[in-house]
Amino acid sequence: EPEVTQTPSHQVTQMGQEVILRCVPISNHLYFYWYRQILGQKVEFLVSFYNNEISEKSEIFDDQFSVERPDGSNFTLKIRSTKLEDSAMYFCASREQVIFYEQYFGPGTRLTVT
Amino acid sequence: DAKTTQPPSMDCAEGRAANLPCNHSTISGNEYVYWYRQIHSQGPQYIIHGLKNNETNEMASLIITEDRKSSTLILPHATLRDTAVYYCIVRYYGGSQGNLIFGKGTKLSVKP
């Protein structure tokens, strides 16, 4: 069964450093998402991406964040200058064209900012 | 989007049916009910969705009341692996680009 994959599974970085989280969505999916979950809190939407551009973003997704689909398979989330409060699980998700809310999530990347 | 209310936690005996309720009294006519779950710290997993008819798939059944103000997710024979947080989400089918809004959900504990 096809699945969304994410790398790395755990990333430790120092405050102020740039990090790139990588995702490989399911191959025939067209919509891509990033969510995050701070430990013990709710899953929060960050950004959606379709047709090579951001289609929607939350208030969390400020200028420190960016997304890219550099090739036909990868989907990345970059945090330019990490802060302690960026420590969280980051989930990538993708979906097909038609069913808006049937999304397939990856296993997540645990980001720890020290 | 309609607000949902779920109990914070529930227990269920292994092998028994788990019935997880969700209230969505402000749901509008074009909003669907979606259920996801999150096992430990894994990525959320889609379970099922419905509009007004009852739905069943290989994972679960979804019962939506006639007035659509509440629904129940049924896991017919719960196993230990069904221990997870279950999220009821109400969203307009064609709204925005499909971003999901998660609440706190119901933490289901399946006990042997």
A93, β-bridge pairs = A33, A105
| B8/A contact by beta carbon, under 8 A | no
pLDDT exceeds cutoff 80 at B5: yes
Pick the more confident residue, B91 or B37.
B37
The answer to whether residues A49 and A75 touch, using CB atoms and an 8 Å cutoff, is: yes
The reported pLDDT for the residue numbered B94 is: 62
Which residues touch B86 (CB under 8 Å, ≥6 apart)? B6, B20, B35, B36, B37, B47, B73, B105, B106, B107, B108
Q: Is the pLDDT of residue B95 over 60?
A: no
Quote the CA–CA distance of B78 and A57 in Å, as a whole number. Answer: 37
> Using a CB-CB distance cutoff of 8 angstroms, which residues of chain A are in contact with residue B60?
none
State the average pLDDT for chain A: 93
Which residue, B58, B60, B85, is CA-closest to B72?
B60
The number of C-alpha atoms within 13 Å of A113 and in the hemisphere containing its C-beta is 20
Whether B103 contacts chain A with CB within 8 A:
yes
pLDDT 10s digits, A38-71: 999 999 999 999 889 999 999 999 999 999 998 8
Of B49, B99, B104, the CB nearest to A48: B99
Buried b (16+ CB within 10 A) or exposed e, A41-53: eebbbbbbbbeee
Rounded to an integer, the average pLDDT of A14-32 is 95
Q: Is A108 on the interface with B (CB under 8 A)?
A: yes
Q: What is the pLDDT of residue B8?
A: 97
In angstroms, the CA B88 to CA A74 distance is 30
